[in-house]
Chain A
Amino acid sequence: MFKNMYNWIDERLDITPMWRDVADHEVPEHVNPAHHFSAFVYCFGGLTFFITVIQILSGMFLTMYYTPDIINAYASVDYLQHKVAFGVIVRGMHHWGASLVIVMMFLHTLRVFFTGSYKAPREMNWVVGMLIFFVMLGLGFTGYLLPWDNKAYFATQVGIKIAASVPFIGQYIATLMQGGEIVGAQTLTRFFAIHVFFLPGVLLALLAGHFFMIRKQGISGPL
């Protein structure tokens, strides 16, 4: 049945060449764990992306219950975690995935570094990868505030104080991040907007560039 549906669409839109172009490419022997088990280190980039997909999906579902408001944020997180079916799992996926994505990204960066894969002609991809790294850190920082518990509040307090220690413009940065003079109502809505709209948008654009470049340039050769 699926084959018939696929064929029906394919006859009209000729989609086969499109996905072939994306998905059908040789995996060189030196990056295939079936040939050399140590090649599993080449999986870290893909795993980072896989966890990113989980983060996006679980985050979308969490916003069905979460409310970015200082009175209700904690209560809504408490509700979705303890009263909604599978809430503890969906929030758990987002919570643990957030740490795991940083770990995987770090391992991926180490692999790229130690195989020298950042060298010409792939310098731009390294730079884009670094930008992704900082966007991920930003997502971690902004997401940390959202449950609006003590840990979230003081972690953000500390983070903003660190940002405020920048010479000359530190105070302006702090005010901009807080959306005011204190970590409060406006900080929470601001962090929420950055966490669910701005940074994911930037992240997807950067990922598109990252993937486009790796397909164009191919995986770097064996050591």
Chain B
Amino acid sequence: MSDHNKHNEEQHGKKPGTKREMSRRQFLSYTLGGAGGFMAAGMMIPMLRFAVDPVLKPKAASDWIKVVEESKITNVPQSFTFQVHQVDGWYESDAELVAWISKDSSGKMFALNPTCKHLGCTVNWNDNPAYKDQYFCPCHGAHYTQDGKNLAVAPKPLDEYTLKVENGFVYVGQLHANTRV
């Protein structure tokens, strides 16, 4: 189809009706189709960009949030709730999030997010007698070690919050993939 253009220039001036020359009908359908397509695009592009906007919005980085005194943290994971200010389109709220914080054998603190990496239910520490001292998910039986290492069902270890200690308080920040296992 597109080679009609090329041949048209070569054969310019020749009498019409030869097979390779662009016909008036073809020229008109290309111009009208092109103009129509341009106008339709002018109409559709704003609407499509409008619809895909959530994908293209930059992700907001989370601030450090004070959770609990440093002295409360033990070797056994405990759950602590904290509030994050959440902006969801036109709806702003203070969502309550949970972190399970404990110390490892070397005394280093770490905070895990209890969202199961299988399908997003909420895990609990030491919740099931069959999996003692483990995180257990009630939905499909995924379970994890204290470090968040996935032992069954779940494809990935539990996500981890960045954590810092300042003036005797534990702060959590950005959520990221587990770095301990």
Contact = CB atoms under 8 A, between A and B. Distances in A.
Interface string B39-63: 0000110110111010010000000
Nearest to B47: A61
A138 interface: no
B43 A61 contact: no
Secondary structure of the B side of the interface? helix
Interface stretch (A76-84, A160-168, A173-181, A205-213): A76-84
B56 A85 contact: yes
B130 interface: no
A137 interface: no
A89 interface: yes
A189 interface: no
B47 A85 contact: no
A57 B89 CA distance: 22
Nearest to A67: B90
B53 A72 contact: no
Nearest to B43: A54
A61 B47 CA distance: 7
Given A3-B1, A57-B43, A86 B90 contact: no
A90 B53 contact: no
Contacts of A93: 43, 46-47
Interface string B126-138: 0000000000000
A64 interface: yes
Report, as a range, how many residues of chain A touch the other chain. 20 to 34
A90 B50 contact: yes
Contact of A57 (B47, B49, B53, B91): B47
B47 A90 contact: yes
Contacts of B89: 65, 76, 79, 83
Contacts of A84: 50, 53
B125 to A, nearest CB: 37
B88 to A, nearest CB: 10
A86 B46 contact: yes
A59 to B, nearest CB: 10
17 contacts: A57-B43, A61-B47, A61-B50, A61-B51, A64-B50, A72-B91, A76-B89, A79-B89, A79-B90, A80-B50, A84-B53, A85-B56, A86-B47, A86-B49, A89-B46, A90-B46, A93-B47
Given A57-B43, A85-B56, A86-B46, 9 more contacts: A54-B43, A61-B47, A61-B50, A72-B91, A75-B90, A75-B91, A78-B90, A79-B90, A86-B53
